[in-house]
């Protein structure tokens, strides 16, 4: 925030209009209000300490699974999954999560479980950044660079005949991955 509010206490003490003047031009105008409220909660109820667990972060206003994962992974260096649109597309294609068109809630649960299971221990920050970059640059929405993709031999989206046989035999592309979903 341009160095205006270097601590949660400084942000909490700032007028909401001043915070919104910085955040509103970024779009999604409620973010400034949420950010200000989070600063108040952290300052008044948490002794200036941001929660360091998924549950703690999700309890704050305006923080969802993606933001909580980003804070845990990037700011706190924990092995927490992050699923943005690029990671969603990459993992969904790699494991063909859209096969048989599962309900969105089930697909989302599988997606987050896979994203968590794929993280190499103690390397969440780098791995998450790599997944997001890979999805943005190689496994793109409209013209993915499949021909040169190093994941192509394992990609169930690229190799549909093998995927179809596997799905016919086993019922799902996730049968050999032991996930609790």
Question: What is the CATH classification number for the domain harbouring 19?
Answer: 1.10.340.30
Residue where a domain stops, chosen among 30, 47, 75: 75
Both 163 and 89 in a single domain? yes
| Predicted local confidence at residue 98, as pLDDT | 77
pLDDT of 177 above 50: no
Of the listed ranges 20-24, 27-31, 137-141, the least confidently predicted one is 27-31
Residue where a domain stops, chosen among 41, 75, 109: 75
CA 162, CA 174: separation in Å to the nearest integer? 14
Both 45 and 122 in a single domain? no
Confidence at 2, pLDDT banded by 50, 70, 90: low
pLDDT of 100 above 90: no
Confidence at 84, pLDDT banded by 50, 70, 90: very high
Residues with Cβ within 8 Å of residue 117, at least 6 apart in sequence: 177, 179
Give percent of the chain above pLDDT 70: 87
CATH number of the structural domain spanning residue 112: 1.10.1670.10
Domain that holds residue 42: 8-75
Segment 46-76, tens digit of pLDDT: 999 999 999 999 999 999 999 999 999 999 9
Both 69 and 91 in a single domain? no
| Predicted local confidence at residue 76, as pLDDT | 96
Both 26 and 103 in a single domain? no
Specify the number of domains making up the chain: 2
Q: Is residue 119 part of a domain?
A: yes
Residue pointed to by tokens 């779009």: 27
| Burial tier of 19 (Cβ tally within 10 Å: 0-12, 13-18, 19+) | buried
| Predicted local confidence at residue 178, as pLDDT | 44
Of the listed ranges 65-79, 91-105, 156-170, the least confidently predicted one is 156-170
Q: Is residue 132 part of a domain?
A: yes
* 168 vs 50 pLDDT, higher one: 50
pLDDT of 181 above 90: no
Both 70 and 131 in a single domain? no
| Predicted local confidence at residue 116, as pLDDT | 96
Residue where a domain stops, chosen among 36, 56, 75: 75
Q: Is residue 175 part of a domain?
A: no
């Amino acid at each position: 925030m341009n160095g205006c509010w270097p601590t949660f206490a400084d942000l909490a003490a700032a007028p909401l209009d001043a915070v919104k003047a910085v955040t509103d031009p970024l779009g999604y105008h409620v973010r400034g209000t949420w950010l200000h409220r989070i600063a108040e909660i952290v300052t008044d109820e948490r002794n200036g300490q941001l929660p360091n667990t998924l549950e703690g972060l999700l309890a704050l206003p305006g923080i969802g699974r993606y933001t909580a994962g980003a804070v845990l992974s990037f700011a706190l260096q924990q092995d927490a999954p992050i699923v943005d649109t690029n990671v969603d597309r990459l993992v969904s294609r790699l494991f063909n999560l859209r096969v048989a068109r599962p309900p969105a809630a089930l697909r989302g649960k599988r997606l987050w479980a896979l994203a968590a299971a794929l993280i190499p221990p103690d390397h969440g920050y780098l791995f998450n950044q790599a997944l997001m970059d890979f999805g943005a640059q190689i496994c793109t929405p409209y013209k993915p660079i499949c021909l040169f993709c190093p994941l192509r031999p394992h990609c169930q989206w690229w190799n549909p005949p093998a995927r179809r046989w596997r799905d016919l035999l086993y019922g799902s592309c996730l049968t050999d991955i032991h996930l609790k979903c």
